[in-house]
Amino acid sequence: MSLNLRTYHELAGADRSGLPEQIAAQRRRVTERLAGVGRLIAVMSGKGGVGKSFVTAHLARALARAGRAVGVLDADLNGPTMPRLLGVDHSPLPTPDGAIEPAIGVDGVKCMSMDLLLQDGAPLTFRGPQAESFVWRGALEAAALREFLGDVAWGALDMLLLDLPPGIQRFHELGDLLSTPPPVLTVTIPTPESRDAVRRAMRAASDRSAPLLGVVENMVDGHFTGTAGADLAAEFSVPLLARIPWHPTPDTWDQLAQQLGSSA
Ligand SMILES: Nc1ncnc2c1ncn2[C@@H]1O[C@H](COP(=O)(O)OP(=O)(O)OP(=O)(O)O)[C@@H](O)[C@H]1O
Ligand SMILES: [Mg+2]
Protein backbone atom coordinates (compact mmCIF):
# COMPACT_ATOMS: atom_id res chain seq x y z
CA MET A 1 0.00 0.00 0.00
CA SER A 2 1.27 3.48 -0.69
CA LEU A 3 0.19 6.96 0.17
CA ASN A 4 -0.93 9.16 -2.66
CA LEU A 5 1.98 11.56 -2.33
CA ARG A 6 1.80 14.79 -4.21
CA THR A 7 4.91 16.92 -4.10
CA TYR A 8 4.92 20.68 -4.12
CA HIS A 9 6.44 20.50 -7.61
CA GLU A 10 3.53 18.49 -8.96
CA LEU A 11 1.09 20.79 -7.31
CA ALA A 12 2.69 23.89 -8.81
CA GLY A 13 3.30 22.31 -12.22
CA ALA A 14 -0.22 21.02 -12.69
CA ASP A 15 -2.00 24.23 -11.87
CA ARG A 16 0.14 27.13 -10.81
CA SER A 17 -2.72 29.57 -10.86
CA GLY A 18 -4.73 27.51 -8.38
CA LEU A 19 -1.94 26.99 -5.86
CA PRO A 20 -3.32 29.13 -3.01
CA GLU A 21 -6.74 27.51 -3.39
CA GLN A 22 -5.19 24.05 -3.39
CA ILE A 23 -3.24 24.78 -0.23
CA ALA A 24 -6.37 26.16 1.43
CA ALA A 25 -8.29 23.03 0.35
CA GLN A 26 -5.60 20.80 1.86
CA ARG A 27 -5.75 22.70 5.14
CA ARG A 28 -9.51 22.24 5.16
CA ARG A 29 -9.13 18.52 4.54
CA VAL A 30 -6.70 18.24 7.47
CA THR A 31 -9.06 20.22 9.71
CA GLU A 32 -12.02 18.04 8.75
CA ARG A 33 -10.05 14.85 9.26
CA LEU A 34 -8.95 15.92 12.75
CA ALA A 35 -12.39 17.20 13.74
CA GLY A 36 -12.98 14.16 15.98
CA VAL A 37 -9.70 14.63 17.87
CA GLY A 38 -10.09 16.26 21.28
CA ARG A 39 -6.48 17.17 21.98
CA LEU A 40 -3.46 17.20 19.73
CA ILE A 41 -0.07 17.07 21.45
CA ALA A 42 3.30 17.26 19.69
CA VAL A 43 6.10 15.47 21.52
CA MET A 44 9.24 17.35 20.66
CA SER A 45 12.86 17.84 21.59
CA GLY A 46 15.65 19.79 20.02
CA LYS A 47 17.82 16.76 20.64
CA GLY A 48 17.94 13.27 19.14
CA GLY A 49 17.88 10.04 21.09
CA VAL A 50 16.49 11.47 24.34
CA GLY A 51 13.49 9.13 24.37
CA LYS A 52 10.74 11.11 22.59
CA SER A 53 9.34 8.02 20.93
CA PHE A 54 9.72 5.90 24.07
CA VAL A 55 7.88 8.53 26.15
CA THR A 56 5.20 9.02 23.47
CA ALA A 57 4.45 5.31 23.21
CA HIS A 58 4.32 4.65 26.96
CA LEU A 59 2.32 7.80 27.66
CA ALA A 60 -0.17 6.80 24.96
CA ARG A 61 -0.50 3.34 26.51
CA ALA A 62 -1.05 4.80 29.99
CA LEU A 63 -3.73 7.15 28.65
CA ALA A 64 -5.41 4.22 26.91
CA ARG A 65 -5.31 2.15 30.11
CA ALA A 66 -7.03 5.06 31.84
CA GLY A 67 -9.87 4.71 29.37
CA ARG A 68 -8.99 7.38 26.82
CA ALA A 69 -9.18 6.86 23.08
CA VAL A 70 -5.63 7.58 21.97
CA GLY A 71 -3.75 7.67 18.69
CA VAL A 72 -0.10 8.18 17.85
CA LEU A 73 1.06 9.62 14.58
CA ASP A 74 4.69 8.76 13.96
CA ALA A 75 5.80 12.02 12.38
CA ASP A 76 9.37 10.71 12.14
CA LEU A 77 9.17 9.80 8.47
CA ASN A 78 12.73 8.66 8.01
CA GLY A 79 13.33 6.92 11.32
CA PRO A 80 9.93 5.55 12.28
CA THR A 81 9.93 3.47 15.47
CA MET A 82 6.36 3.66 16.71
CA PRO A 83 4.97 0.35 15.36
CA ARG A 84 7.68 -1.57 17.22
CA LEU A 85 7.14 0.42 20.43
CA LEU A 86 3.38 -0.14 20.24
CA GLY A 87 3.62 -3.76 19.16
CA VAL A 88 1.75 -3.19 15.91
CA ASP A 89 1.85 -6.32 13.79
CA HIS A 90 -0.51 -5.52 10.94
CA SER A 91 -0.87 -2.99 8.14
CA PRO A 92 -3.35 -0.15 8.17
CA LEU A 93 -6.38 -0.78 5.96
CA PRO A 94 -7.84 1.46 3.28
CA THR A 95 -11.39 2.71 3.89
CA PRO A 96 -14.07 2.86 1.19
CA ASP A 97 -13.72 6.64 0.94
CA GLY A 98 -10.02 6.46 0.06
CA ALA A 99 -8.66 7.15 3.55
CA ILE A 100 -6.55 4.81 5.71
CA GLU A 101 -7.58 3.22 9.00
CA PRO A 102 -4.81 3.44 11.60
CA ALA A 103 -3.40 0.17 12.91
CA ILE A 104 -4.12 -0.87 16.51
CA GLY A 105 -1.28 -1.48 18.97
CA VAL A 106 -1.04 -2.68 22.57
CA ASP A 107 -3.63 -1.34 25.01
CA GLY A 108 -5.72 -0.33 21.99
CA VAL A 109 -3.55 2.63 20.96
CA LYS A 110 -4.17 3.60 17.34
CA CYS A 111 -1.03 4.06 15.30
CA MET A 112 0.00 5.39 11.93
CA SER A 113 3.59 5.33 10.76
CA MET A 114 5.58 5.43 7.57
CA ASP A 115 7.03 2.12 8.72
CA LEU A 116 3.62 0.52 8.14
CA LEU A 117 3.58 1.69 4.54
CA LEU A 118 7.15 1.01 3.45
CA GLN A 119 7.40 -2.75 3.04
CA ASP A 120 11.15 -2.96 3.30
CA GLY A 121 11.62 -0.27 5.93
CA ALA A 122 13.50 1.85 3.39
CA PRO A 123 13.63 5.60 3.94
CA LEU A 124 11.67 7.93 1.71
CA THR A 125 13.42 8.19 -1.64
CA PHE A 126 13.94 11.35 -3.54
CA ARG A 127 13.20 12.02 -7.14
CA GLY A 128 14.86 14.93 -8.86
CA PRO A 129 18.48 15.90 -9.34
CA GLN A 130 20.90 14.53 -6.75
CA ALA A 131 22.37 17.99 -6.12
CA GLU A 132 18.98 19.20 -4.97
CA SER A 133 18.12 16.12 -2.96
CA PHE A 134 17.92 18.05 0.31
CA VAL A 135 15.26 20.27 -1.24
CA TRP A 136 13.39 17.22 -2.47
CA ARG A 137 13.68 15.51 0.86
CA GLY A 138 12.03 18.49 2.53
CA ALA A 139 9.28 18.69 -0.07
CA LEU A 140 8.60 14.97 0.04
CA GLU A 141 8.53 14.77 3.81
CA ALA A 142 6.20 17.76 4.06
CA ALA A 143 3.95 16.13 1.44
CA ALA A 144 3.93 12.83 3.35
CA LEU A 145 3.04 14.63 6.58
CA ARG A 146 0.21 16.44 4.81
CA GLU A 147 -1.15 13.14 3.50
CA PHE A 148 -0.86 11.56 6.94
CA LEU A 149 -2.85 14.37 8.48
CA GLY A 150 -5.36 14.52 5.66
CA ASP A 151 -5.90 10.86 4.90
CA VAL A 152 -5.79 8.91 8.16
CA ALA A 153 -9.28 8.20 9.51
CA TRP A 154 -8.61 8.39 13.26
CA GLY A 155 -12.28 8.62 14.15
CA ALA A 156 -13.15 9.99 17.58
CA LEU A 157 -10.05 10.34 19.75
CA ASP A 158 -9.54 11.99 23.11
CA MET A 159 -5.92 12.57 22.27
CA LEU A 160 -3.62 12.31 19.27
CA LEU A 161 0.08 12.33 20.11
CA LEU A 162 2.49 13.36 17.37
CA ASP A 163 5.94 11.83 17.75
CA LEU A 164 8.31 14.28 16.09
CA PRO A 165 11.83 13.63 14.81
CA PRO A 166 14.69 15.59 16.43
CA GLY A 167 14.95 19.28 15.61
CA ILE A 168 12.24 21.84 14.97
CA GLN A 169 11.60 21.48 11.24
CA ARG A 170 8.67 19.07 11.57
CA PHE A 171 7.08 21.30 14.19
CA HIS A 172 7.12 24.21 11.73
CA GLU A 173 5.61 22.02 9.02
CA LEU A 174 2.85 21.03 11.41
CA GLY A 175 2.24 24.66 12.29
CA ASP A 176 1.84 25.40 8.57
CA LEU A 177 -0.58 22.52 8.01
CA LEU A 178 -2.78 23.00 11.05
CA SER A 179 -4.74 26.15 11.60
CA THR A 180 -2.92 26.68 14.91
CA PRO A 181 0.40 25.14 16.00
CA PRO A 182 -0.14 22.14 18.30
CA PRO A 183 0.52 22.20 22.06
CA VAL A 184 3.99 20.86 22.78
CA LEU A 185 5.33 18.40 25.34
CA THR A 186 9.13 18.52 25.46
CA VAL A 187 11.47 15.69 26.38
CA THR A 188 15.02 16.20 27.61
CA ILE A 189 17.71 14.21 29.35
CA PRO A 190 19.39 15.83 32.39
CA THR A 191 22.55 17.12 30.65
CA PRO A 192 23.38 20.77 29.91
CA GLU A 193 23.84 19.90 26.20
CA SER A 194 20.33 18.54 26.03
CA ARG A 195 19.01 21.56 27.94
CA ASP A 196 20.50 23.94 25.38
CA ALA A 197 19.10 22.04 22.40
CA VAL A 198 15.67 21.63 23.97
CA ARG A 199 15.61 25.31 24.94
CA ARG A 200 15.93 26.22 21.25
CA ALA A 201 13.02 23.95 20.40
CA MET A 202 10.88 25.41 23.18
CA ARG A 203 11.70 28.93 22.02
CA ALA A 204 10.72 28.04 18.47
CA ALA A 205 7.41 26.65 19.73
CA SER A 206 6.73 29.61 21.93
CA ASP A 207 7.65 32.05 19.12
CA ARG A 208 4.80 30.50 17.14
CA SER A 209 2.52 30.84 20.16
CA ALA A 210 2.21 27.09 20.64
CA PRO A 211 1.16 26.26 24.22
CA LEU A 212 4.01 24.64 26.17
CA LEU A 213 2.50 21.83 28.26
CA GLY A 214 5.58 20.98 30.26
CA VAL A 215 8.86 19.11 30.35
CA VAL A 216 9.57 15.41 30.77
CA GLU A 217 13.08 14.60 31.95
CA ASN A 218 14.08 11.12 30.82
CA MET A 219 16.96 8.76 31.72
CA VAL A 220 17.42 10.43 35.11
CA ASP A 221 19.09 7.74 37.18
CA GLY A 222 21.82 6.64 34.81
CA HIS A 223 25.15 8.23 34.00
CA PHE A 224 23.60 11.44 32.62
CA THR A 225 24.00 14.23 35.14
CA GLY A 226 22.51 17.70 35.19
CA THR A 227 19.32 19.59 35.96
CA ALA A 228 17.95 20.22 32.47
CA GLY A 229 14.37 19.33 33.37
CA ALA A 230 14.10 21.70 36.33
CA ASP A 231 16.04 24.44 34.52
CA LEU A 232 13.79 24.41 31.45
CA ALA A 233 10.62 24.21 33.53
CA ALA A 234 11.71 27.29 35.50
CA GLU A 235 12.86 29.23 32.44
CA PHE A 236 9.60 28.74 30.57
CA SER A 237 7.34 28.74 33.65
CA VAL A 238 5.93 25.31 32.82
CA PRO A 239 5.61 22.19 34.97
CA LEU A 240 8.29 19.51 35.14
CA LEU A 241 5.70 16.80 34.51
CA ALA A 242 7.84 13.74 35.16
CA ARG A 243 11.35 12.49 35.83
CA ILE A 244 11.57 9.12 34.14
CA PRO A 245 14.20 6.60 35.28
CA TRP A 246 15.70 3.88 33.14
CA HIS A 247 13.24 1.03 32.62
CA PRO A 248 10.35 2.71 34.43
CA THR A 249 7.39 0.79 35.81
CA PRO A 250 3.84 1.33 34.48
CA ASP A 251 3.13 3.51 37.57
CA THR A 252 5.50 6.17 36.27
CA TRP A 253 3.54 6.42 33.02
CA ASP A 254 0.18 6.38 34.79
CA GLN A 255 1.30 9.37 36.87
CA LEU A 256 2.50 11.24 33.78
CA ALA A 257 -0.81 10.54 32.05
CA GLN A 258 -2.64 11.95 35.07
CA GLN A 259 -0.42 15.04 35.19
CA LEU A 260 -1.04 15.69 31.52
CA GLY A 261 -4.76 15.24 31.95
CA SER A 262 -4.81 17.87 34.67
CA SER A 263 -2.68 20.30 32.62
CA ALA A 264 -5.32 20.57 29.87
N1 LIG B 1 13.69 5.61 30.27
C2 LIG B 1 14.18 4.70 29.44
N3 LIG B 1 14.47 3.46 29.89
C4 LIG B 1 14.97 2.52 29.05
N5 LIG B 1 15.19 2.73 27.73
C6 LIG B 1 14.91 3.94 27.24
C7 LIG B 1 14.39 4.98 28.05
N8 LIG B 1 14.21 6.08 27.28
C9 LIG B 1 14.61 5.72 26.04
N10 LIG B 1 15.03 4.45 26.00
C11 LIG B 1 15.60 3.76 24.85
O12 LIG B 1 16.58 4.64 24.29
C13 LIG B 1 16.57 4.58 22.88
C14 LIG B 1 16.28 5.96 22.30
O15 LIG B 1 14.95 6.31 22.61
P16 LIG B 1 13.96 6.89 21.53
O17 LIG B 1 14.11 6.19 20.21
O18 LIG B 1 12.61 6.93 22.13
O19 LIG B 1 14.57 8.37 21.40
P20 LIG B 1 14.10 9.50 20.40
O21 LIG B 1 14.32 10.78 21.12
O22 LIG B 1 12.75 9.22 19.89
O23 LIG B 1 15.17 9.33 19.24
P24 LIG B 1 15.12 10.04 17.80
O25 LIG B 1 15.67 11.41 18.04
O26 LIG B 1 16.04 9.18 16.96
O27 LIG B 1 13.70 10.05 17.33
C28 LIG B 1 15.53 3.55 22.50
O29 LIG B 1 16.16 2.31 22.34
C30 LIG B 1 14.61 3.52 23.72
O31 LIG B 1 13.94 2.29 23.87
MG1 LIG C 1 12.06 9.05 17.91
Q: Which of 45, 50, 54 to mutate to test the pocket of ligand 1 (most atoms within 8 A of CB)?
A: 54
Q: Which of 45, 53, 171 to mutate to test the pocket of ligand 1 (most atoms within 8 A of CB)?
A: 53
Q: What is the pLDDT of residues 143-176, one digit of tens each?
A: 788 888 888 999 999 999 999 999 898 899 899 8
Ligand 1 nearest atom to the CA of residue 45, by list position: 21
Long-range CB pairs of 35-40 (<8 Å, 24+ gap) are 36/154, 36/155, 36/156, 36/157, 37/71, 37/154, 37/156, 37/157, 37/159, 37/160, 38/157, 38/158, 38/159, 39/158, 39/159, 39/160, 39/183, 39/264, 40/159, 40/160, 40/162, 40/178, 40/182, 40/183
Per-residue pLDDT, averaged over 125-150, amounts to: 66
Percent of the chain residues past pLDDT 90, beyond the cut: 58
Q: Is the pLDDT of residue 218 over 60?
A: yes
Residue 165, ligand 1, Cβ within 6 A: yes
Q: For the whole model, what pTM was predicted? A: 0.88
Return the CATH number of 8-262, one of 3.40.50.300, 3.90.550.10, 3.30.750.80, 1.10.3720.10: 3.40.50.300
Q: Is the pLDDT of residue 258 over 90?
A: yes
CA-nearest residue, atom 9 of ligand 1: 51
